[in-house]
């Protein structure tokens, strides 16, 4: 005999789901804390704190040979840690990173609920798949003590606010995230496309406020120009020169998993094996590398056309009824549209390292949830590569040789493309046949 579940049963399932997901999160957070509190040397100490002191002294943080290749905001934000003893700054930085990791997981999971609220029996599976596709990259960032977990938490929590139609708060958070690394500025054309004018203005305000605050409070550097302009001149302007080879950045070529980095590896490097160990040899002179530009331009045109096809006509995001009965929740399509932007950020960046890919947790959650709806095979297809790569790029599990081969082949690039295509095609299906989700939920409620 079947019937609608009682209110008590629903509450019990919701409580059990929360307990399970929080337990998994706590285990993950505990594992993440180890490298933060016990690693003796890291990018946080060697780069961010070092250049925070240089910034505080009024010196040029973008001097020739500088290893600080970011907008000035992150150096300014690190200044308070410079006044703390080493153990104190490490504890404070660790707490902030752990909180940001939790915020990233929480925000991505909450945003993805607008796509499909899963049954208790399936929620743990969707949650585990999403973590598998992203946790390796979060832990890589925490191990090296970079800013990327904090950036991910800021961006994902900003998207969570946008999903609740809180445009000003959400836009400010996206602007702060973009102030760290420029790729989140891709949300600008999206907000224009969806007529989110408050969110757009707030994003711009947050971006410029964060990156000009060092000029306002510490004064202009000796060059007399705002630090953001100096950064653009030294690191971005060379990219428009005819002899610039896409994928060139201040890191080893094997770690650059953007489209440009992977294309450069295929045209300007090769794998060699010495004494049973693989390594990458870079060819300094290679005329084929210049042809990468035309290939990337073609991919950009194809990717943009695909994105616009999936998003449909420019229109304002529709509001749907929330739990309180008010129209304050953005349409479920927002989660997948935001997922596509996160994927595009990683693919179009001049440099995307492993630590940057934690934001894939949102596109992975979105598709993982849809495995319970119609077209299971379709969803599993686009999750297969990200799941396998998320496991195999754990160096302790796969070994150094497999790790090197996977990175050289651009496995992370392929994972991101798979999630980008999966979210885009699901958008098309949902726009044309919303009953794919509605029928499933009605069926579940009738059991």
- The DSSP result for 337-387, as a single string, is HHHHHHHHHHHHSS---GGGGGGGHHHHHHHHHHTTSS-HHHHHHHHHHHH
Give 35's pLDDT tier (boundaries 50, 70, 90).
Answer: low
**Per-range mean pLDDT, top range of 243-257, 292-306, 354-368:** 354-368
Half-sphere exposure for 370 (CA within 13 Å, toward CB): 35
Domain-embedded: residue 1: no
Q: Which residues contact residue 229 at a Cβ distance below 8 angstroms, ignoring those fewer than 6 apart?
A: none
Over residues 99-121, mean pLDDT: 84
The answer to whether residue 18 scores a pLDDT higher than 80 is no
Residue 268 lies in a domain: yes
If pLDDT is split at 50, 70 and 90, which confidence band does 9 have?
A: low
Q: Tokens 């300094």 identify what position?
A: 284
User: Does pTM top 0.75 for this prediction?
Assistant: yes
Which among 108, 287, 303 has a CA at the least distance from the CA of 189?
303
CA–CA dist 153, 109 (Å, integer)? 12
In a domain, 135, yes or no: yes
Residue 280: domain span: 7-445
Give mean pLDDT, residues 88-109. Answer: 88
Position 439 scores a pLDDT of 42
Axis-axis angle for helices 411-432, 376-392 (nearest 10): 160
Hey, is 269 helix, strand or coil?
strand
- What lies within 8 Å, CB to CB, of 219 at 6+ separation is 58
Confidence check: pLDDT of 440 > 50: no
Residue 2 lies in a domain: no
| Residue 17: pLDDT band with limits 50, 70, 90 | low
Residue 40 or 356, more confident: 356
Nearest to 48 by CA among 182, 156, 184, 150: 150
Which of the residue ranges 250-259, 262-271, 302-311, 319-328 has the most confident prediction, judged by mean pLDDT?
Answer: 302-311
Query: Where does 219-332 have alpha helices with state H?
Result: 227-231, 259-268, 292-311
Q: Answer yes or no: is 148 within a domain.
A: yes
84: Cβ contacts below 8 Å, ≥ 6 apart: 92
Contacts of residue 279, defined as CB under 8 A and 6 or more positions apart, other chains included, come to 271, 272, 273, 404
Name which of 273-277, 306-310, 322-326 the model is least confident about.
322-326
Q: How many domains does the chain have?
A: 1
319 sits in which H/E element? strand 319-321
pLDDT at 229 over 80: yes
User: Which residue did the predictor score with more confidence, 287 or 114?
Assistant: 114
Domain annotation covers residue 119: yes
Is 265 contained in some domain? yes
Q: What mean pLDDT comes out for the span 306-311?
A: 93
Is 200 part of any domain?
yes
Beta carbons within 8 Å of 436's beta carbon, 6+ residues apart: 373, 374, 375, 429, 430
Q: Over pLDDT 90: what percentage of the chain?
A: 36
pLDDT value for 175: 96
In the chain, what are the helix, strand and coil shares in percent, each to the nearest 5?
Answer: 70, 5, 25
More confident residue, 35 or 350: 350
Q: What is the mean pLDDT of residues 253-259?
A: 88
Does 46 score more than 80 pLDDT? no
Q: Could you tell me the pLDDT band of residue 39, with boundaries at 50, 70 and 90?
A: low
Per-residue pLDDT band at 361 (split at 50, 70, 90): very high
Tell me the C-alpha distance between 432 and 241, whole Å.
44
Tell me whether strands 319-321 and 269-274 are parallel, antiparallel or unpaired.
Answer: unpaired
Q: How large is the average pLDDT for residues 230-240?
A: 86
Cite the DSSP H helix spans in 113-196: 120-132, 135-144, 148-163, 167-180, 187-193
Q: What is the rounded average pLDDT of the residues 231-240?
A: 85
More confident residue, 238 or 331: 238
What is the rounded average pLDDT for all residues in the chain?
82
pLDDT score for 94: 82
Q: What is the pLDDT of residue 303?
A: 92
The highest-confidence range among 347-351, 369-373, 392-396, by mean pLDDT, is 347-351
CB burial of 141-155 (b: ≥16 within 10 Å; e: otherwise) equals: bbbbbbbbbbbbbbb
Return the structure tokens found at 2: 């079947």
Give the model's pLDDT for residue 371. 84
Give the model's pLDDT for residue 326: 45
Q: Which residues of 182-206 are buried (b: 16+ CB within 10 A; e: fewer)?
A: bbbbbbbebbebbebeebbbbbbeb
Per-residue confidence at 4, pLDDT binned at 50, 70, 90? very low
pLDDT tens string 377-428: 888 899 999 999 999 988 777 788 888 888 888 899 999 999 999 999 988 8
């Amino acid at each position: 005999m079947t019937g609608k579940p009682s209110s008590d049963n629903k509450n019990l399932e919701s409580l059990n789901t929360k307990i399970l997901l929080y337990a998994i999160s706590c285990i993950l957070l505990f594992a993440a804390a180890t490298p933060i509190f016990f690693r003796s040397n890291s990018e946080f100490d060697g780069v961010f704190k070092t250049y925070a002191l240089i910034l505080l002294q009024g010196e040029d943080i973008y001097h020739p040979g500088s290893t600080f290749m970011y907008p000035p905001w992150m150096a300014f934000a690190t200044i308070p840690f410079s006044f703390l003893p080493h153990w104190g700054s490490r504890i404070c930085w660790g707490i902030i990173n752990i909180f940001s990791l939790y915020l990233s997981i929480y925000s991505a999971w909450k945003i993805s609920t607008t796509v499909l609220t899963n049954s208790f029996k399936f929620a743990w599976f969707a949650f585990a798949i999403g973590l598998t596709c992203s946790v390796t990259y979060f832990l890589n960032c925490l191990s090296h003590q970079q800013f990327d977990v904090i950036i991910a938490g800021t961006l994902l929590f900003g998207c969570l606010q946008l999903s609740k139609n809180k445009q000003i708060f959400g836009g400010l958070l996206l602007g702060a995230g973009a102030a760290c690394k420029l790729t989140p500025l891709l949300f600008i054309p999206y907000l224009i496309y969806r007529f989110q004018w408050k969110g757009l203005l707030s994003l711009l305000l947050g971006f410029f406020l964060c990156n000009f605050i060092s000029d306002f409070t510490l004064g202009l550097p000796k060059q007399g120009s705002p630090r953001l302009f100096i950064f653009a001149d030294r690191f971005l302007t060379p990219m428009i020169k005819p002899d610039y080879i896409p994928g060139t950045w201040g890191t080893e070529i094997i770690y650059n998993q953007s489209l440009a980095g992977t294309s450069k590896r295929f045209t300007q490097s090769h794998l060699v094996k010495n004494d049973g160990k693989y390594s990458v040899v870079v060819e300094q002179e290679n005329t084929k590398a210049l042809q990468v530009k035309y290939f990337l331009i073609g991919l950009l045109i194809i990717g943009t056309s695909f994105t616009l096809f999936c998003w449909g006509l420019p229109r304002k995001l529709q509001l749907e009824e929330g739990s309180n009965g008010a129209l304050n929740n953005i349409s479920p399509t927002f989660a997948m549209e935001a997922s596509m932007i996160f994927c595009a950020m990683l693919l179009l960046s001049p440099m995307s390292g492993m630590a940057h890919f934690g934001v894939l947790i949102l596109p992975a959650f979105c598709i993982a949830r849809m495995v319970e709806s119609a077209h299971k095979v379709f969803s599993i297809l686009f999750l297969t590569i990200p799941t396998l790569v998320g496991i195999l790029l754990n160096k302790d599990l796969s070994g150094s040789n497999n790790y090197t081969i996977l990175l050289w082949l651009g496995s992370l690039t392929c994972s991101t493309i798979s999630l980008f295509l999966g979210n885009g095609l699901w958008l098309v299906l949902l726009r044309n046949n919303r009953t794919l989700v509605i029928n499933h939920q009605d069926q579940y409620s009738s059991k």
